[in-house]
Amino acid sequence: MKSAADAKKLLNRSILIKEVIELRFHWRKYHTPYLKTSFKFNVTAFGSSLTIPQQVERIERFSFLPYDGDIDLKNPDVVFSLYEDYNDFPNQGLPVPDAPIRLFWGPFVAESSRALIQQYDLKKRGYLGTTSMDAELSLIMSNVALARPGSLVLDPFVGTGSFLVTSSHFGAYTIGSDIDGRQIRGKGNGKSIESNAKQYSLEDRILGTVVCDIAHHPWRDCELWDAIVCDPPYGVRAGAKKIAVNPKAPPKTSIYNRDGGYKLPQCVPYELDDVMADLISFAAKFLVPGGRLVYWLPTLTDSYSPKDVPRHKRLRLLDNCEQSFNKWARRMIIMEKLKADEPDLDLDALLIEIEKGMQTKVALDEKDMKVQGDGLVTLIDNPAHAGFRKGYFKE
Amino acid sequence: MLMCHVKGCATDNFPLRIEDAELEQVEVEFNEDFMRRMINKIEWGAFVQTAFALGVDQLPATVPENIDTEFLQRIHRVAMETKLKEGKMICNGCKHVYPVTDGIPNMLLQETEV
Ligand SMILES: C[S@@+](CC[C@H](N)C(=O)[O-])C[C@H]1O[C@@H](n2cnc3c(N)ncnc32)[C@H](O)[C@@H]1O
Ligand SMILES: [Zn+2]
């Protein structure tokens, strides 16, 4: 980063970074600007915790510094941050070390937007459902989808609208749709997507919602959306479904209820690989050039292979980032639609494998894949997530 | 932006005709760049026709040569801030009725229509 201003700008859109401090290596230099300024210290430990007396003890180690300014805990001219890094040994089954493995010390420069995680914490949200997305992950997804003022974002599996909230927080206009109108409206107790929009004062950006099935949707052909952000139905808690004649249900005598409204259509199970294929084809068609698709792909850890991730000739895979729950995982997939003048991706480009930002190797084989008319590329054999529901419940 | 998607319904399926409309004026943040982009995406004839039928605004039949901020604000008011609260959207092709309640259009088809 070239300047403090750059750091501030970047951190304004960062959820995962905590803060930026300036590292001062030359002791002669670190004195000069701070000889008379008021100051305070912040002490933070990663992978361990420090009691107040321990923190004070750490701060006192710096008493050799020739700083004559006042200590000011409320409005200091400068804050010095001390970081002790204890690594994450407990996560690897090892004890926390007695002493930190690394220390960082320097004047504080900029704070990130981590506080947003608290601001949008689900515990404080009025309307919630069983699959509402955690605030931190929602923020990260809207962030990598490049939600920003003047962009238009769709969540086609909107549920209780977590992604509308976070995308509109970053300035985007948002629209959601779901096959289940009860998800959007709530239970009639005044709690709904609309009430969440009010709670966060985002009514002037969350434009509205539509009840529709992504498999039979009403959007007019047009490159409309700057981003599509969603958590498709996995069928762990509630199975995905789509409208179709259900051979097991008796045919209707009338499509109307007594009050004149429509009866709900019959539905059949919507297999996960079909959901994903429809979503990708939808994105390839309806995103603006350069627009992004960010979604979760659930996988069973034992049977997952990078070949499972559906590709598309008009969508460049930017990242594939696993969140593991041991036996199963979900992968945040980020894709970007090609610009109008870019040629379709060739097989080499399509079959590239990316894992957590690292482009590792060309792992896939052309022979395994089938290319569909619109450019969708999927595995010829069922991808492992096709059997996700069955596999999950077998555990 | 919504059209009829009943299977086989391909003519006269856009724009949907609106009946028994109850409109609501809402406040939406104005973004000039966004509106400028949208004007190219809106099916202008359909938009003008719908706005006129609802008595919202009488817009020029073609998009003006020089689009200024004022004009974009006017379009913003019609396209972004006028919400169909209650009513029906009807397909002129196949007569499917899409009801709108509480500002939420129900675009579900019947199982026999997909
Ligand atoms: C995992 S939930 C999404 C939850 C949402 N992210 C939230 O924050 O509340 C998946 C949603 O997909 C919806 N769904 C299932 N099948 C669908 C379909 N065919 N078309 C559209 N939505 C569907 C379900 O009703 C459910 O609300
Ligand atoms: Zn129709």
On chain B, the residues whose CB falls within 8 A of the CB of A211 are: 104-108
Q: Is the CB of A125 under 6 A from ligand 1?
A: no
pLDDT in tens, chain A (395 residues): 888 999 999 998 999 998 898 876 555 555 567 888 899 999 999 988 899 999 999 999 988 887 888 999 999 999 999 999 998 887 788 888 888 999 998 889 999 999 999 999 999 999 999 999 999 999 999 999 999 999 999 999 999 999 999 999 999 999 999 999 999 999 989 999 999 999 999 999 999 999 999 999 999 999 999 999 999 998 655 678 999 999 988 888 888 888 778 889 999 999 899 999 999 999 999 999 999 999 999 999 988 888 889 999 999 999 999 999 989 999 999 999 999 999 999 888 888 888 878 887 666 677 888 889 999 998 887 787 877 777 776 65
B9, B93 Cβ separation under 8 angstroms:
yes
Per-10-residue mean pLDDT of chain B, 114 residues long, equals: 84 92 96 96 93 92 94 96 95 94 95 92
Kindly give the number of the ligand 1 atom that is closest to the alpha carbon of A234.
Answer: 1
Average pLDDT, chain A: 90
pLDDT at A43: 95
pLDDT at A363: 64
Find where tokens 């990078």 sit: A306
Give residue limits of the domains in chain A.
4-113, 117-394
Tokens of A176: 């959601």
- Considering CB atoms only, which of B43, B80, B111 is closest to A246? B111
CB contact under 8 A, A219 and B1: yes
B10 at A interface, C-beta within 8 A: no
Rounded Cα distance, B45 and A354, in Å: 45
Q: Is the CB of A178 under 6 A from ligand 1?
A: yes
pLDDT at A265: 94
3-state SS string over chain A? CCCHHHHHHHHHCCCCCCEEECCCCCHHHHHHHHCCCCEEEEEEEECCCCCHHHHHHHHHHHHHCCCCCCECCCCCCEEEEEEEECCCHHHHCCCCCCCCCEEEEEEEEEECCCHHHHHCCHHHCCCCCCCCCCHHHHHHHHHHCCCCCCCEEEECCCCCCHHHHHHHHCCCEEEEEECCHHHHHCCCCCCCHHHHHHHCCCCCCEEEEEECECCECCECCCCCEEEEEECCCCCCCCCCEEECCCCCCCCCCCCECCCCCECCCCEEECCHHHHHHHHHHHHHHHEEEEEEEEEEEEEECCCCCHHHCCEECCEEEEEEEEEEECCEEEEEEEEEECCCCCCCCCHHHHCEEEECCEEEEECCCHHHEEECCCCEEEECCCCHHHHHHHHHHHC
Q: What is the CATH code of the structural domain delimited by A117-394?
A: 3.40.50.150
Taking the model in full, what pTM does it have? Answer: 0.92
pLDDT at B42: 92
CB contact under 8 A, A219 and B102: no
CA dihedral defined by A73, A74, A78, A82, rounded to 10 degrees? 50
Omega prior to B99 cis, within 30 of 0: no
CB contact under 8 A, A207 and B80: yes
* Cα distances (Å, whole numbers) of residue A169 to A153, A222, A296: 12, 26, 21
Rounded Cα distance, A314 and A268, in Å: 30
CB contact under 8 A, B99 and A261: yes
Phi, psi values for residue B38, rounded to 5°? -65, -35
B1, A220 Cβ separation under 8 angstroms:
yes
pLDDT digits (tens, 9 = 90+) for B37-51: 999 999 999 999 999
Residue A225 carries which side chain, given as an amino acid letter?
W
The whole-angstrom distance between A254's CA and the closest CA on chain B is: 11
